[in-house]
Structure 1
């Protein structure tokens, strides 16, 4: 009996332990299932972000940002020379051009006196002045200034070239400085081109066209394109014609200097870039 009781007791312990283990397993499984269900209930559905195409305002903002960036880069990259630099360069360049013109005139005079077949520049184009020259100068100034104004309004490439040249030379100057940068180049260039080269090349219509072409080509650069060279060639033809008519250097010198001054003043008070100065 004792042995059987022990075996029955052992069997009961095994059953109880098995039931207890199964109960713990079922409890854990039930808890796990409840946790999964709870997580499923608490889980938020993922937000769906619609692929909205950019609007017109977005494009405008991007273009404005790009434009502002380009303008800032352009302003930082284009630095105009200082006032003293411009005046110094103008004075030195004009002095060298005038010196070359004087030398050529003197050499031609000496060569002519020595009997060489060279025209005396001083005799062909003098510094004489007569009252009717005032009318000629006035007509030239009106013709060239009005033609320049019309071209600035109708020829974009010429307007761009003129703007670049004026911005580089005139932007840092005061209004009274315009007299210097207008008269020094006007006087020195005419002394060389119409006072020396024009008589040396024959003092006729062929020499007028040749000197005007050289004058035009030398005006290319520093932001000035070939459109500006065409304009300078036309101006050179007018000054050459006036020189042959008057046989006086005063006429092209005065016309050139006054036209430079008028052009500078018009740029200062009409150009958008000059308004920022």
Structure 2
């Protein structure tokens, strides 16, 4: 079975109405169709980003970073998993590298999970939960345990809710990247003191 993905927008020789018409004809022929919209990914225009989105980003950074900090202090299994992941990725980095390492996964993971998979399954609570569970499962391995995957699932729910609330992945991308940066900075400062 093939899945054809048509982008709603001017991403090719066809305008959005032609893409939707082709999608309709293909779906009538029994082919599965996923319509990904640039309007969903980044809003219908650049003016859609509002001040409350910045407030939401900061709130998400505080929520996720505070939650991570509490888990690090109260859950040895999570602390072990987090330490293993951080040691694997962050040990040899220079300070500027933390910015790159924070933003690359923050942007790419949000493109995949909240930008592609969420619209594919439908922007609703069951899909947010399913995509968050997939996000959590993919955070297993490399020394990370189930507690880390459960945490990643919770974070995926938070980013999924932000995506539904704003109809854009921009807020989730920014919050995810900034949370990675905060976590990396805290890890670096605590490990350099413990040497």
CA distance in 2, matches of 1:262, 1:181: 12
Answer whether contact 1:112 1:118 (CA < 8 A) is retained.
Answer: no
Q: Kindly report the root-mean-square deviation, in angstroms, between the aligned alpha carbons of the 2 structures.
A: 2.0
Structure 1 unaligned regions, length at least 5: 1-103
As a proportion of its length, which structure holds more strand?
Answer: 2
* Structure 1 position 213 matched with structure 2 position 133: yes
What's the offset of the Cα at 1:155?
0.3
As a proportion of its length, which structure holds more helix?
Answer: 1
- 21, 36, 41: which one aligns with 1:126: 41
Answer whether contact 2:5 2:36 (CA < 8 A) is retained.
Answer: no
CA distance in 2, matches of 1:107, 1:171: 40
CA distance in 2, matches of 1:113, 1:219: 39
Q: After superposition, give the CA deviation of every residue in 1:35-78 in whole Å (9 maximum; x if it has no partner).
A: xxxxxxxxxxxxxxxxxxxxxxxxxxxxxxxxxxxxxxxxxxxx
CA distance in 1, matches of 2:145, 2:78: 8
Q: Counterpart of 2:7? A: 109
Answer whether contact 1:119 1:202 (CA < 8 A) is retained.
Answer: no
Q: Evaluate the alpha carbon distance shift between residue 177 and residue 275 of structure 1 in structure 2; reply closer, same or farther with a 3 A threshold.
A: farther
What's the offset of the Cα at 1:127?
1.0
Number of aligned residue pairs: 171
Q: After superposition, give the CA deviation of every residue in 1:184-233 in whole Å (9 maximum; x if it has no partner).
A: 00000100100010011011000000000000000101111111100100
CA distance in 2, matches of 1:223, 1:113: 48
Q: TM-score, normalised by structure 2?
A: 0.82
CA distance in 1, matches of 2:100, 2:6: 30
* Structure 1 position 196 matched with structure 2 position 116: yes
Structure 2 unaligned regions, length at least 5: 9-18, 44-48
Q: Evaluate the alpha carbon distance shift between residue 214 and residue 124 of structure 1 in structure 2; reply closer, same or farther with a 3 A threshold.
A: farther
